Structures are given as C-alpha cells and as structure tokens.
Chains A and B, each alone.
Chain A
Amino acid sequence: MKPLKRTLIRGVLVSCLFSGAMSAAADNLPLAQQVEQLRHEVQALQARVQQLEQQQHTGAVAAPVAAAAPAATTSTSPGATTAQPASAAPSTSLEPALQTIGRLKEAWKGIDSGMSEAQVRDRLGTPGRIFTISGKTVWYYSYEGVGSGSVAFSANSKKVVDWQNPPFGFW
C-alpha cells in the first residue's frame, strides 16, 4: 500500500475512534458499555480498512517493482536498476487488474530464446533487479499481486537462453 493512502486510512481510523469515544462519553454510559461500543466500532473500521486494502491490492498489478529478489551468492551485479513507475492506477474494480495481468501475460509470451536485451526491454520494460548467476546475466521482474519472473542472458552472446514466467496462475 502506498504511504499516502496508508496515512489517510490511519487518519480516518483515528478520527472515527476519537469521535466515537467523545460520543460515548457524552452519552454518559457506564465505562464497560463505552468500552464495548468502542470495540465494535474498531472492529467495523478494521474490516473497512481490510476491504480497502484488498481492493487496492487487486488493482495494483503494474510494471515491475524492485521487490525482494533472491540474492545471488555467486556474483551479484552492482548494476541493479531502478523500477519503472507503476503504469496502472490503483482501482477498486477487478477489471483493470485483469487487463493489466493479461497485458503482462502477452508480453511474457513473446519472450523467446535468442532475443536481445533491447528486445526484452521493449516487451517487459526495465527489470527491477539485474544480477549474475552462474555466469548468466539475469533480469528479474517482480509484479505486486502476481509474483516474480526472470530472463537469463548468455554471458557470451547476450541473447536470451532461459526464462521463467511470473506465476500468472489461473488468470
């Protein structure tokens, strides 16, 4: 979740808690009853926050992000690149997310042996991480809400020799 949205949600939660507490106090209810009322309000707000988080999560499939990629012990390249900004805006509807996944899936379908780095970059964008494993240069892509995939290039020809699609699952 983005920091701004998280802050807003937390602000709403605190405001509601505060107003609820003030309201209960004004009604002069016994303390136990006030606590119980507050507990229910907190639960309702937690459920609302969870719902918003889920909606944001499903709508956030986007360009690769620099997620936690496995660290290569052999020779990790210092040339790790930064991620592209997300190309799909967060949405509360599932449809845009599916469309984004569909586009990603099509892009990955086009990866094939012998492709150049430029061809891969054209299809998949800039990788979230670049590192070297067993002599091969590996471009690592992580997609929030989907998972990670990678493309391995020959050390000699700089052409694609192997790749692993992200786990698109049943989408």
Chain B
Amino acid sequence: MSLTTHFKTTLGAGACLLASLALTPQVSQAVPSFARQTGLPCSSCHSIFPELTAFGRDFKMNGYTMTGLKQIEQKSEGEMGGVKINEIPPLSAMLQVSATHTSKTVAGTQNNNVEFPHQFSFFFAGEISPHMGSFIQLTWAQDSQHFALDNTDIRYANHTQIGGADTIYGLTLNNNPTVEDVWNSTPAWGFPWSGPASAPTPAADALINGLGGDVAGVGGYTFWNNHLYAGVSLYRSAHAGQLAPDPTSLMTIDGVAPYWRLAWEQAFGGGTLEVGTYGMATKLYPGDGTSTGVSGPTDKYTDTGLDLQYELPVAPDDLLTIHSSYMHEKQNLDATYAASSSDNTSNTLKTFKLDGTYHSGNDASFTLGYFNTTGSTDVTYYGTTNGKPDSNGEIVQANYLPWQNTKLSIQYTAYNKFDGTSNNAGDNNTLFLQTWFMW
C-alpha cells in the first residue's frame, strides 16, 4: 500500500473509525416532523434543505419549540412541573439511495457502486416540553449495517432582555461539534451536505470535522438583538460501542475539549451577512501504539476557524447563498512524535472552502464549490508520497426537488491535487447521483 504510513494507520484509522461511527456527519437533513409541528411548509425554514433561512435559524435557536399542534396539557401552579406535549409524536424518516462512479476504479473494488440505502434514518425531532426540543437522528448505513446515533442536538431555550434588546439564551446537549450551529458555513451543516461514501477522499482534514458521533458535549449559547451570537461547549469522548475508553481506544479526549463560536449577523447590501469564528482545542490520546489509549503523552490540536455566509434575494423567488470557511489547525504531536510516528513535533494544516448556490425558487438549485487543503510536510504522519497533505478541487452540484421533501442530486467532484500531488489526481474524480426522501 502506498499510503500506509503512520497518518493512515494511526490517525487515519482513528478517523475512519470515527467516520464510520459518525455515519458521515456531514450528511444533514430537514425534518418533516418540524413542518407538522409548526404547520409551516419546509420552505419556511429551508431555502433547499438543509440550508436554513433566517426563520429556520430562529426556530433552531428557540429550541425547536414553536408549535401549532394540539397539545396534551396539564398545568401546575408555576411555570414548571406540569406537562405540555404535542399530541402527535415528532417522528420522521429519511432514505437516501446513491450511485457513485470514480474516474479510475479503486483497486480491488467494483466501480459504479450503488448504495441502497446510502443512509436510512429515523428522527425524533420536535418539541419535548415548553422551551425544550430535540433533533435526534438514528441512522442505518450500508457500510455499517446497524442503527447508530447520528447527529443529535437537544436544547433548552428561552428569552430575556439585555440592554433593551431581545436575547435568546439556551443550552445544548449534542454529539458533534458545530451541529449546534445555525449557519451553513461550519462543518456539520456545510456544503456538500451529502457525498459519496465509497469514493476516495483526501486523507487530511481538520480534527473538528471528524469528531461527530464520537463525543458528547454540553454548552450554552446566546443570540443578542438578532445580531450577536456567542456559544461555548465542552466535549468529552463518548465512543460508540464502549462504556468507557480503555487502552484499546483510539482518539480519546484527555479531559474536556472546549468549543467556541462567535458570530455577527446583519442586513448588508440587500441580503443577510454573517461573519464569525469558531474553533476547538483538543488534547487526545492517539492510541494504536502511540499511547495507551487513556494515559501517557497526548497530542494537542487547536482548530481556529473563520466563516462567512451571505444570503441575497436576486429575484422575488430566487436566492443566492455564499458560504466560506477557513480553518487553521495547529498540531502538537508530542505523543505521536515520541512513538516515531511523525517527523515533526508540530504541524499545521489549513483548509479553505467556498461555495455559492443559486436557488431557483424552492425546487431547483445549482452549486459551485471550491476546496483547498495545505499543510506541513510530514511523510511519516500524512503518509502521502511527498509528505504533503495538500488537496484541492471543485465540486459542482445540481438539485431538483419535484416535491419539497424529495431531492434528486447530481454531484461531480474534480481534483486538481490529491494527497500532495497533481499526478493522476483526476483518477479520483467522482460522479455521485442521489435521491433523498424525507417524510
């Protein structure tokens, strides 16, 4: 194998494990039970799912609690203590079926792969009680062959006045850093939303993008005067299939990993602009020979990101959305270096993403995306032929929605550079077709 150096075997193996446990956390959804709960059509909260409109962001920040459903209610003397629940349980289902073609067949596999299902999910998504709601996803995927907890976000939200301005404040309990975010420029809800599971993808990515489904986090957030959003969460490892991390565990967080988010949103140039920062500082026991899994030296990853989102109505029913993010990752690899599994004690990894989508009403969209990853040269750590983690390319995607809960997608990913080299990068170009049903 050409890519069997330490990055592939240790961090790569851990990342693969996390990815399989997370069931591709980039995949994200709109949920019909929210529509049934609010009595509002999907397009109220989504331009095209899962992109959120301003109303969708507000619904999420308010804890998924707005409801127009008949309630089963028993009041108590105070605000708390009684019961008030929707008469109809907030259940939904999702089915994705996909086909993938790569320019050059991956050695030892069949090309033109079909996944049925790509993902099949149940959701419990809606109000739990006054001020509290949930987005809980259970997913079965072809490669995992079992149901597992996917993206989950349980919230409490309320309002107060600060400086004479309305202020939303809340708590979130979730299992994926950035799943609590309300803009589509951060990893959990960012473009391309769904992609091929069987095609080759670049080896290097920021740690924050790969922790979904393998951690548990609790945090608080606030949104002041419809402008300033601030949030902090603390994450700790919660490996699926393990009651507690042990010496065999991979990528276990030492203590807790803080996640932060700061964003400003306002009207600008006829649209809505958001600029912000987010990031995470994580100390990890890499495991797999570089440490015992729960003790010994650790590696430290500090992810610091900037993001931007702009939504511009370009015709009465059409919308242009632009998302961009830049992530700088500082890697202090004390544990990995001590185990002779990296050439350097520290590396940097930088990722940049930019995508723009034209929404034709709510039934069609076209997206152009660009991605670029660069970083330090470390042959042992990254395992690429020249030691560089660099990859870049473009993604083109078209969606058609015959109904608001049915999306037909065609996506093409073209690589200019793949795992450090431009040679034969195009062999990894991928055509991805998908049908996506929500009901």
Q: Across the interface, which residues of A come within 8 angstroms of B55, CB to CB?
A: 72-74, 133-134
Q: Across the interface, which residues of B come within 8 angstroms of A67, CB to CB?
A: 68
The CA of A156 and the CA of B43, in the complex, are separated in Å by: 16
Interface residues of B in 202-216 (CB under 8 A from A): none
Q: Across the interface, which residues of B come within 8 angstroms of A151, CB to CB?
A: 41
The CA of A147 and the CA of B36, in the complex, are separated in Å by: 9
The CA of A162 and the CA of B59, in the complex, are separated in Å by: 19
Q: What is the interface size of chain B, counting residues whose CB is below 8 A from a CB of the partner?
A: 30
Interface residues of A in 55-77 (CB under 8 A from B): 67-74
Q: Mask for B48-66, Cβ within 8 A of A = 1, else 0?
A: 0000011100110000001
Beyond A70-B59, A150-B39, A161-B362, whether A135 also contacts B66 by CB under 8 A is: no
Q: Are A147 and B69 in contact (CB under 8 A)?
A: yes
Q: Across the interface, which residues of A come within 8 angstroms of B79, CB to CB?
A: none
Asked if B35 is at the interface of the complex by the 8 Å CB criterion, the answer is yes
Residue in A68, A135, A142 with the greatest tally of chain B CB atoms within 10 Å: A135
- Which segment, of B95-103, B235-243, B309-317, B339-347, faces chain A? B309-317
Beyond A133-B44, A140-B39, A152-B44, whether A69 also contacts B68 by CB under 8 A is: yes
The listed residue (A70, A73, A155, A156) touching B40 by CB distance below 8 A is A70
Q: Across the interface, which residues of B come within 8 angstroms of A70, CB to CB?
A: 38-40, 59, 66-68
Q: Are A155 and B316 in contact (CB under 8 A)?
A: yes
Q: Across the interface, which residues of A come within 8 angstroms of B67, CB to CB?
A: 70
The CA of A154 and the CA of B317, in the complex, are separated in Å by: 6
Asked if B438 is at the interface of the complex by the 8 Å CB criterion, the answer is no
Asked if A97 is at the interface of the complex by the 8 Å CB criterion, the answer is no
The listed residue (B38, B43, B66) touching A162 by CB distance below 8 A is B43
Beyond A73-B58, A138-B44, A140-B39, whether A146 also contacts B70 by CB under 8 A is: yes
Q: Across the interface, which residues of A come within 8 angstroms of B42, CB to CB?
A: 162, 164
Q: In the assembled complex, how far is the CB of residue B286 from the closest CB belonging to chain A, in whole angstroms?
A: 44
Beyond A74-B55, A134-B54, whether A147 also contacts B39 by CB under 8 A is: yes
Q: Are B313 and A142 in contact (CB under 8 A)?
A: no
Q: Are B43 and A161 in contact (CB under 8 A)?
A: yes
Q: Across the interface, which residues of B come within 8 angstroms of A71, CB to CB?
A: 66
Q: Are B41 and A164 in contact (CB under 8 A)?
A: yes
Q: Across the interface, which residues of B come within 8 angstroms of A157, CB to CB?
A: 316-317
Q: In the assembled complex, how far is the CB of residue B39 from the closest CB belonging to chain A, in whole angstroms?
A: 3
Q: In the assembled complex, how far is the CB of residue A66 from the closest CB belonging to chain B, in whole angstroms?
A: 12
Q: Are B53 and A133 in contact (CB under 8 A)?
A: yes
Q: In the assembled complex, how far is the CB of residue B46 from the closest CB belonging to chain A, in whole angstroms?
A: 9
The CA of A169 and the CA of B89, in the complex, are separated in Å by: 11
Asked if A166 is at the interface of the complex by the 8 Å CB criterion, the answer is yes
Asked if B295 is at the interface of the complex by the 8 Å CB criterion, the answer is no
The CA of A71 and the CA of B68, in the complex, are separated in Å by: 11
The CA of A146 and the CA of B71, in the complex, are separated in Å by: 10
Q: Across the interface, which residues of A come within 8 angstroms of B70, CB to CB?
A: 144-147
The listed residue (B36, B44, B59) touching A167 by CB distance below 8 A is B36
Q: In the assembled complex, how far is the CB of residue B174 from the closest CB belonging to chain A, in whole angstroms?
A: 23
Q: Are A138 and B40 in contact (CB under 8 A)?
A: yes
Asked if B404 is at the interface of the complex by the 8 Å CB criterion, the answer is yes
Q: Are B44 and A166 in contact (CB under 8 A)?
A: no
The listed residue (B68, B88, B317, B404) touching A156 by CB distance below 8 A is B317
Q: Are B68 and A154 in contact (CB under 8 A)?
A: no
Q: Across the interface, which residues of B come within 8 angstroms of A163, CB to CB?
A: 41
Q: In the assembled complex, how far is the CB of residue A161 from the closest CB belonging to chain B, in whole angstroms?
A: 6
The CA of A59 and the CA of B88, in the complex, are separated in Å by: 19
Q: Are A149 and B39 in contact (CB under 8 A)?
A: yes
Asked if A126 is at the interface of the complex by the 8 Å CB criterion, the answer is no
The CA of A69 and the CA of B317, in the complex, are separated in Å by: 23
Q: Mask for B368-398, Cβ within 8 A of A = 1, else 0?
A: 0000000000000000000000000000000
5 pairs of residues in contact across A and B, judged by CB atoms under 8 Å: A70-B59, A70-B67, A74-B55, A133-B53, A150-B39
The 8 A-B pairs with the shortest beta carbon distances in the complex, nearest first, are A148-B68, A148-B39, A156-B316, A70-B66, A162-B41, A155-B316, A164-B41, A134-B53
Known: A70-B40, A71-B66, A145-B70. 4 other contacts (CB 8 A): A67-B68, A74-B55, A164-B41, A167-B36
**Interface residues, chain B, with chain A CB atoms under 8 Å away:** 35-36, 38-44, 47, 53-55, 58-59, 66-70, 87-88, 226, 313, 315-317, 361-362, 404
